[in-house]
Structure 1
């Protein structure tokens, strides 16, 4: 059985088919959609901030522990 070693040769024909078969999309974006998008962005920023704060305490604890060890030497 022959295997394809480069996946880009498989993805290229699929991409060409998808682009050739595109159809127009009829979508309506009302102000409520913008509000939902804004909430998603703000929620994402809040989540990144919380994760940064959680990991910052762990990183600071490791750095403080290393500073104490260097002071003893």
Structure 2
């Protein structure tokens, strides 16, 4: 198992040395779109997390409620 690392790393080294420069750049609009996508992803993850935590709290409080009724929010 540990000997399989050597051929893969040698292959990656050969492929990496054969690549040519891309001569690519990121202009202002592309950078702005990337920043906007990152901010949107963070906001979506926060809203998903808030929703998931709310559902988990509701499920736990329903299980541990003394009178057995369910509280819908």
- TM-score higher than 0.5: yes
Following TM superposition, the consecutive aligned residue runs of length 4 or more in structure 1 with deviations greater than 4 angstroms are: none
Residue of 16, 19, 26 corresponding to 1:29: 26
Q: Is it true that 1:16 corresponds to 2:13 in the alignment?
A: yes
Q: Could you tell me which runs of 5 or more consecutive residues in structure 1 were left unpaired when the two chains were aligned.
A: none
**Aligned residue pairs, count:** 66
Q: Could you tell me which runs of 5 or more consecutive residues in structure 2 were left unpaired when the two chains were aligned.
A: 68-73
Cα-Cα RMSD = 2.1
Higher RCO (C-alpha under 8 Å, 6+ residues apart) = 2
Distance 1:12 1:57, change over 3 A: same
Q: Is it true that 1:46 corresponds to 2:26 in the alignment?
A: no
